[in-house]
Amino acid sequence: MSKTKRVWTIIGAVFAIQTALFLMIIPEIAFLLIAAFVGLWLTFYGLKYLIYYMTHAQHMVGGKWFLLLGLLMFDMGMFATLLIDQVQMIMIIYVVAAHFVAAVLNFARAYSNKGDGNPGWKIDLAQGIGNISQVVLCLVFINYVEVPVFIYCSGVIYSSILNIITACKKTAIVYVQ
């Protein structure tokens, strides 16, 4: 990781911590803000993948996955954005699904890194455990709007702290002879 990337990672993590602390103060409004953010984020990334498919991936092997992923994310984002003020349960399920996918990817990365002898597997395992605990707590308290907001914000703080730790670690330089 370059020095510039480290600085931007730390700045982004500090901003995320401040935003999460602010959202914990106002959980009723915070739920709508988180729902809007998730909906717009899914829509944006869906459009990004669709544009990537149209410009590059349609001629690649396996490029249709970008089309399917883009359509799915765009559809979920538009659906979530349209239902921000009507159905809170759907938004909680979206957040739970995102954390579940992130946890599975963290566990897979930790397993792969441990097999390669990389010492960074512990941070990936910690992030996976944190994401799974968020999923479980959100599902237990799914009927209360305030509790998932606190859980989500604490997860943002947790992930941001791990990002700061990762940015401050020295990276190994591999020399090819």
Tens of pLDDT along the chain (177 residues) come to: 788 899 999 999 999 999 999 988 988 788 788 778 878 888 999 999 999 989 988 888 888 888 888 998 898 888 878 877 666 677 677 778 888 888 998 999 899 888 888 887 888 888 889 889 888 888 888 777 777 788 778 878 988 998 899 888 877 666 676
The span from the first CA to the last CA of the chain, in angstroms, equals 22
**Nearest 5°: phi and psi at 98?**
-65, -40
Q: Tell me what pLDDT residue 30 has.
A: 82
- Please list, residue by residue across 144-163, b when 16 or more beta carbons sit within 10 angstroms of its beta carbon and e when fewer do: ebebbbbbbbbbbbbbbebb
DSSP secondary-structure letter at 62?
T
